[in-house]
Amino acid sequence: MLAAVTGGEPRVMTVRSGDALPSGPFEMGHRTLQSGLREWVQDQTAHPVGYLEQLYTFADRDRNNDILGGRTISISYLGLVREQAAPGGGRPGWHGWYEYFPWEDRRSGSPAILGDIAGRLLRWAESDPLKNEGRLRRVVFAFGLEGAWNEDMVLQRYELLYEAGLVAEAGAPAETSPGRAMFADNRRILATGIARLRAKIKYRPVVFELMPESFTLLQLQRTVEALAGLTLHKQNFRRLIEQQELVEETGESESETGGRPAKLFRYRHAVLEERALSGSKLPLSRN
């Protein structure tokens, strides 16, 4: 999974016109999985990958719809890049996260689709008296129906929709399935990557891998908000950035829409060494 944030929107690189995530075989000539992946991504997408980490190993039976009764094993990775157009025809393209998970974007409040999803899940939970109580607890907790929304539970929410048979990947009609479906279990892999990155930005400064060389504090805040699907308290966010000493002024400024020129910043070079240290973090201070 390759992620970027462009124009304040989180994006993922896809193939098959947006229906699948890029994938490729591990060749015997590759010294390590990571080196093989970097080489493959560079060759297929013309995107150099900066930050890269192993995400998860997917090996469930029948996870590939093309191999009935068979088993394929995929070792997934999460990579962070700055979006750029890949040269040549037939290259992978970029799609927004929330095209696949529209219920995860709460920057403008609770999305309208969430009410429909909650109603359908509650009816499913109540349809089996023997499992009623457990299902109800899971639905209420995962979807924050009592007010406690946890942005990190992306995978749990998708898994509930799958278990309830409400998404196309589980056999639901495409016209009633919330969010855009993907090939096989690719949307599950995407949900896993989003959840990992949402959690990661709270304790590691990986967000700077997605930023240009210089940026305003507002652009930085909008990037964090895009990833988390939440709005942040402006002053608390800026105070946190100052306390963590993650950025430094460039001495230049740029005009932002409807306001006076804003100072430009860059992340401090020392941040590269500080990735391994606890305490360098960007917790989400909500409005």
pLDDT digits (tens, 9 = 90+) for 89-100: 556 789 999 999
Q: What average pLDDT does the chain have?
A: 84
What pLDDT score does 156 carry? Answer: 97
pTM of the model: 0.86
Q: How confident is the model at residue 88 (pLDDT cuts 50, 70, 90)?
A: low
Measured on CA atoms in the order 15, 191, 179, 64, is the torsion positive or negative?
A: positive
Cα separation values, 180 from 58, 71, 249, Å = 21, 25, 41
Say if strands 247-255 and 51-58 run parallel, antiparallel, or are unpaired.
unpaired
Give the angle 117-120-121 at the CA atoms, nearest 5°: 85
**Residue whose pair of structure tokens reads 């196309």 in the numeric block:** 168
pLDDT band at 265 (very low <50, low <70, confident <90, very high): very high
**What is the mean predicted confidence (pLDDT) over 154-168?**
96
Measured distance CA(13)–CA(80) in Å, rounded? 10
Strands 74-80 and 247-255: unpaired
| pLDDT band per the 50, 70, 90 thresholds, residue 187 | very high
Domains, the chain, ordered by start: 2-97 (3.90.79.10), 102-178 (no CATH), 205-274 (1.10.10.10)
